[in-house]
Amino acid sequence: MKNVTITINGAEQQAQVEPRLLLVHYLREVAGLTGTHIGCETSLCGACTVLMDGRAVKSCTVLAVQADGHKIGTVEGLANGGQLHAIQEGFWEEHGLQCGFCTPGMLMCSHDLLAQHPSPTDSEIREAINGNLCRCTGYEHIVNAVKSAARKMTKRVSARAA
Amino acid sequence: MAQNGKPTSKSNGKSNGTRNGDAAPWVGRKLKRKEDPRLIQGISHYTDDLKLPRMLHCVLVRSPYAHAEVGAIRTDAARAVHGVVGVFTAEDVSSIGMVPCAIQMPDLKVPKHPVLATERVRYVGEPVAVVVAEDLYAARDAAELVEVDYEPLHVITNMEKALGNETSYVHEEFRSNKAFTHALKNGDIAAAFKKADRVVKQRMINQRLAPIAMETRAVLAEYLPGEKRLTVWNSTQIPHLLRTQISVMLGLPETAVRVIAPEVGGGFGSKLNVYAEDGIVPWLAMKLGRPVRWSETRRENFASTIHGRDTINDVELAVKKDGTVLGLRVRILADLGAYHQLLTPLIPQLTALMLAGCYKFPAIDIEIQGVFTNKMSTDAYRGAGRPEATYIVERIMDIAAHELNIDSAEFRLKNFPQSKEFPFNTVTGLTYDSAKYQESLKKALQLAGYDALRRRQKNGLKQGKYYGVGVSTYVEICAIGPSAATPAGGWESATVRIEPTGKVTLLTGASPHGQGEETTFAQLIADQLGIDPDDVNVVHGDTLAVPYGIGTFGSRATAVGGTAAYLATQKLKAKLATLAAHLLGAKPGDITIGRRVLTAKGSKKSIPFREVVMAAYTARSIPAGFEPGLEATHFFEPSNFTFPFGAHIASVEVDPETGEVKLEKYVAVDDCGNVLNPLLVDGQIQGGIAQGIGQAMWEELIYNEEGQLVTGTLMDYALPKAHFLPNFTLDRTVTPSPVNPMGVKGVGEAGTIASTPCMVNAVCDALASLGIRHIEMPLKPERVWQAISHAQAAPREPEPLLVGALAASAARKNAQKPARRRT
Ligand code: FES
Ligand code: FES
C-alpha cells in the first residue's frame, strides 16, 4: 500500500492505496465522486476524463499513485456553489446530452479545450472531443454547446475586464 | 425517478423556460430538459454509482472458446485469493430458471439457455462461473485463477455452411441449425415477375453490429430476508418486464421483487432484454445475504450483450421499363447466434413486415430462415428489423433506378402511394396511418439542391471527380404496438396525481434512458392542467412506485406512454370540472380550465386551480358521489402502430486513389407527426443519423472462423467520432397520426433507419460510372478502393441498358444471370 495526497476539486485528501489502483477507481470508490464515469477502462471512450493540473486526462489511464501531489478536477467541481459553469449551461441550453453518460467526460474535455482555445471553430471542437465517444447525440448539439460556452466565457472575461 | 428506494425530485427548482403569455402552449417549445441539471453536475446515479453497506463485487468467468465441451472446473486457487467470498458454477446455480425468450412461433426451436454453461459452451463470452469478493480487484484476480477444462468442438460461424451439408450442430438435440422459417407472401408474385420488363437482383449483407450504449450493463441486488424483499437496481429499458422475469427465474413471488432502473446510460435495444446476470446477481445476494454489484466491462459488453442485424439478403425486384414496381422477392438468412435472447427470433419478422417500404408493391414474397451459429445472440438494436428492411428496399430501388437509367428520386416519386390513399394497406398486411411521401421527398430534394448536385456530379466526372448523391426514403413502424402484435403487451400505463398543493406527480411505465420524458411528459400535462412543466414531477423506473408498464423501445414512449398520461389527465380534468362546478354553482360542462384557474362559461365566476385541488382533498364540500382525491390511472391500448416517414439525401465525394469517402452534406426531412419538443426531436434524429452512418461506413462485428470476436474492443470496432461527421441539415413535415389523440408518431429510430441506405446509395452512385453497382458495408476506404480497382481492372462494359423494347427483352434474358460487375 502507498500513501497518496491528492487535491480533488480544491480539497486535499490523503489515502492509502494499492499501487495498481486506477485514478478513476480512486475517485469513484475511495473519494466517493461517481460523476466521473467508466465506459471502457482502456483509454478509448473518454467517459472518465478529468483535469490533472488543468489538463484533460483519461483517469482510467492514470494510476492513483501518479496523481500523488497533483490537483484533480472532476465534474462535481465545475459548478461554483449553485452557479453552473458556462460549459454546463451550454450543454443544458443546447441539448448537448441525452443519456448523460458521456457528459462529464465531454465537459472536462471541453474545459481543457476552452482553456487553450477560447473561441474554437466547429472543426477544432470536433477534433478536440475526438477521444470522447457519445452514442446518443451524433455530436452536433455537443459542438453547439461548446460554442455557446465559448461565447459566454469570452463575454464574461470581457465584462470583467471592462 | 427513485434511487435507494426513495423517490426524489431531481428538479433544481429553477424556472425552466418562460411562457410567452397565457395562450402559448408548452407543447411544441424548445424547452431545456428538466433532467439535465443533475446530469451535468455529475450528481445523478447510474447503477454502478450506487453503493450499499457490506456490498460485494462479482466477476463472471467466460468461455474463451466458441464451441467446446466443458470439463472440470477448478476453483481452489480462486477461492484462496484474499477477499474472495465464493466461486459458483452451473451446478450451484441450477435452481435459477433459464434465460427467457418471449417469442413463440410454430416451428421455433428454443434451446435450453442456462445462466451458467453446463456441458457445453456455444459462443465466446458465454459465462461458466462467477466469483464474488469484497472488492472488484480481488474478484478480477480470482476470476483469472478459475481453471476450466475445455474440449474444443467444430465451430459454426457461416450461415450458409451451417444450413448446407449439416454435420455439426450448435445444438445437437435439434439435428439442424435452422431455428425457424418464416414466410410472408401476398399478391400474385409469379405474375409480377412474368410481367416484368426487368428483374433487378442483388445479394446484400447487413453486417453484425454492437449497440454500445456508453453505460455498459450493471446490476446491484439486495435481499432483506426479514421483509422477504429483493431489490434489484438494473440498467434496463424494461423494469416491469424484468421484474416478472426475475421472479420467474428465481421462483419468488413477483410481489417480493422490486426493480429500479436508476439513471440509464443509453440502451438502443441492448437493455430491452433479460440476461444471465439479471438472474445470477440477485441469486448471489440472496445466497450470501449481502448486497452484490456487477458491472460489465466494455470487452464483455462486446462479447456478451446482444448484437444487432447480421442478415444475408437475396433480393429480386420486378419492374416495368417505365419504372413501375411490380413485385419484390426476398430471401433472408438471419444469424441468430447460439441462443435466443428475449426477442431474438422476432427481429427478422419485423423486417418482413416493413419490406413494402414507402412503395406500392402489388406482390411480395418473403422467406426467412433463422440460423444458429456459435456467436452471441442477435436481438433488437436501434430500429430492430426496420433498418434491415429499409436497407433492402432502398438499395434495390437505387440499383434498379441505375439499371433503368431513371433518376432515383423520380423513380421513388412514381411508386409512392398518394397522400389521399391513406390509411394505406400494404402488401405486407399493415395499415399505414398517414403520410405525405411526395411532399417529404420534394422538400429534401429542394433543401439539398438536388439538381445542382446532379449537375456537379456530371461535370465532376469530366475532371475525374467522383461525386455521389444518395437518396433514401423510409417508413418505420412505431408506437409498438397493439398488444395483439407484441409478445408481452403493447399498451402503456400512466398514473397522474395532483397533490394537495397543486403539484403534479406522473408515474409512467415508459422508463426512459436518455429520451427526456421527464421534460416532454411534463410539457404535455402542464398544458392540460394550465400549470408549468416545473410543477410536474415525472416518476419512472421503479416497479414499487409505478403501475405495471412495458417500457421504452420501438419509438413508443411518447405515442403510447405519453398518450396514457394524456388520457389519465383527461379523467382528472373531468373531475376538476365537476368539483369546480359544484363550488361555483355552475354546470360541469360549462367549466373551462385556464391558466391556474377554472372558469364557468357565461358567468364571471372562477376559482383558482389550487383551491379546487385542495377542496378535493379536504372533501368537506364535494358533490354527492364525488370520490375524494385527484388521482387517475390509464392503461392505453393503441388501435394501430404509427408510421413515421421521411426522406434523407447525402452528398459525398469518393477519392478514387484512396477509397476515402467524404460526406459533404446530409439533409434529413423527417415526419414524426406532432412534435412535443423540437429540440429533443432534433437530438433523436441527429443521434440516429450518426448511428446509421456508423453502420454504413465503419462499424462491423467480425467473428473469425474459430468464432473469436476480432473487433471486440473500441479500438477495433469503429464507433462514429465527432470529427467523422458534418453538421446535418434537418427539416420536417408534420402529418399528425390519427391513431392517438396527440397526433404523435415517434422518432427514436428514424435517423438510424434512413441514413444507412442513404450513405451506401451515395457512394455507389458516385462510382456507378465505373460499373460498380454494390459494395458491402461498412464502406471502409479499403473496401471502396478494392471495388474501384476491380472495376478498373475489368473490361469496360456498355452503358447501363437504356429503356426500350429491345433493351427490355435483353433485360429479361440478363435478369436470369448474376450481374457480372457485382463486387
Ligand atoms: S473509461 Fe477511460 S477512456 Fe473509457
Ligand atoms: S449522451 Fe448518451 S452517450 Fe452521450
User: Which residue owns the Cα nearest ligand 1 atom 3?
Assistant: A43
Determine the 3-state secondary structure of B757 from DSSP. helix
Interface of B with A in 591-610 (CB under 8 A): none
Q: What is the pLDDT of residue B748?
A: 87
For B42, nearest residue in chain A (alpha carbons): A35
User: Which residue owns the Cα nearest ligand 2 atom 4?
Assistant: A134
Q: Which whole-number Å values give the CA distances from B385 to B273, B311, B334, in the listed order?
A: 16, 10, 11
Instruction: Mark B181-216 as b/e (b = at least 16 C-beta within 10 Å).
Output: ebebebbebeebbebbbbbbbbebebbbbbbbbbbb
Q: How many CB atoms sit inside 10 A of residue B330's CB?
A: 22
Place of cell 441468430: B336
DSSP B108-172: -------SS--SEE-STT-EEEEEEESSHHHHHHHHHH-EEEEEE------HHHHHTT--S-SSG
| Same domain assignment for residues A67 and A132 | no
Residue numbers of the domain that contains A59: 2-76
Report the distance separating Cα B508 and Cα B557, nearest Å.
Answer: 9
**CATH match for B382-471+644-806 among 3.30.365.10, 3.30.200.20, 3.30.300.30, 3.40.50.10190:** 3.30.365.10
| Same domain assignment for residues A52 and A91 | no
Report the distance separating Cα B569 and Cα B562, nearest Å.
Answer: 11
- Listed as ranges, residues in chain A with pLDDT below 50 are none
Report the distance separating Cα A154 and Cα B257, nearest Å.
Answer: 53
The H-or-E segment that residue B202 falls in is: strand B198-209
Question: Hey, are the CB atoms on B215 and A101 less than 8 Å from each other?
Answer: yes
A28 lines ligand 1 (CB under 6 A): no
Split into its structural domains, chain A has a count of 2
In chain B, where the domains are located: 47-153+217-295, 382-471+644-806, 491-636
| Same domain assignment for residues A97 and A135 | yes
| Same domain assignment for residues A67 and A104 | no
* Most A-contacting residue of B10, B52, B209, B214 (CB-CB within 10 A), to test interface: B214
For A99, nearest residue in chain B (alpha carbons): B514
Residue B52: all three cell numbers together: 450499499
Q: What is the pLDDT of residue A82?
A: 85
Give the 3-state secondary structure of B660-678. CEEEEEEEEEEECECCCCH
Q: What is the pLDDT of residue B797?
A: 52
| Same domain assignment for residues A64 and A102 | no
B722 lines ligand 2 (CB under 6 A): no
A69 lines ligand 2 (CB under 6 A): no
| Same domain assignment for residues A65 and A7 | yes
Give A159→chain B minimum CA distance, Å: 25
Q: Is A162 part of any domain?
A: no
CA B638 to chain centroid: 19
pLDDT, one tens digit per residue, over B679-688 is 999 999 999 9
Domain CATH code at residue A92 = 1.10.150.120
- Listed as ranges, residues in chain B with pLDDT below 70 are 1-23, 795-823
Report the distance separating Cα A46 and Cα B77, nearest Å.
Answer: 35
- pTM value? 0.93
Q: What is the pLDDT of residue B22?
A: 53
Report the distance separating Cα B59 and Cα B295, nearest Å.
Answer: 8
Give A161→chain B minimum CA distance, Å: 28
Place of cell 434523407: B648
pLDDT, one tens digit per residue, over B705-721 is 999 999 999 999 999 99
Q: Is A61 part of any domain?
A: yes
Report the distance separating Cα B187 and Cα B365, nearest Å.
Answer: 8
Domain CATH code at residue A8 = 3.10.20.30
A25 lines ligand 1 (CB under 6 A): no
Place of cell 419509438: B555
- Does domain B491-636 bear CATH number 3.30.365.10? yes
Count of positions (residues) in chain A: 162
Question: Hey, are the CB atoms on A133 and B714 less than 8 Å from each other?
Answer: yes
Question: Which residues, in sequence order, are bridge partners of residue B7?
Answer: B2
Residue B278: all three cell numbers together: 439479471
Q: Prior bond to B468 cis, omega within 30?
A: no
Q: What is the pLDDT of residue B492?
A: 87
Q: Is A18 part of any domain?
A: yes
User: Which residue owns the Cα nearest ligand 2 atom 3?
Assistant: A134
Instruction: Mark A30-64 as b/e (b = at least 16 C-beta within 10 Å).
Output: bbebbbbbbbbbebbbbbbbbbbeeebbbbbebbb
pLDDT, one tens digit per residue, over A48-68 is 999 999 999 999 999 999 999
Q: What is the pLDDT of residue B796?
A: 58
Ramachandran sector of residue B207 (left: φ over 0; alpha: ψ -120 to 50; beta: rest): beta
- Which stretches of chain A are DSSP H helices? 23-25, 86-93, 103-116, 122-128, 140-161
* Fold designation for B47-153+217-295: Aldehyde Oxidoreductase; domain 3 (3.90.1170)
Pairing relationship of beta strands A2-8 and A71-73 according to DSSP bridges = parallel
**Burial (CB count <10 Å: 0-12, 13-18, 19+), residue B605:** middle
CA B397 to chain centroid: 25
| Same domain assignment for residues A143 and A112 | yes
Q: Is A19 part of any domain?
A: yes
Give phi and psi for B310, each to the nearest 5. 70, 70
Place of cell 452528398: B651
Give A54→chain B minimum CA distance, Å: 18
A138 lines ligand 2 (CB under 6 A): no
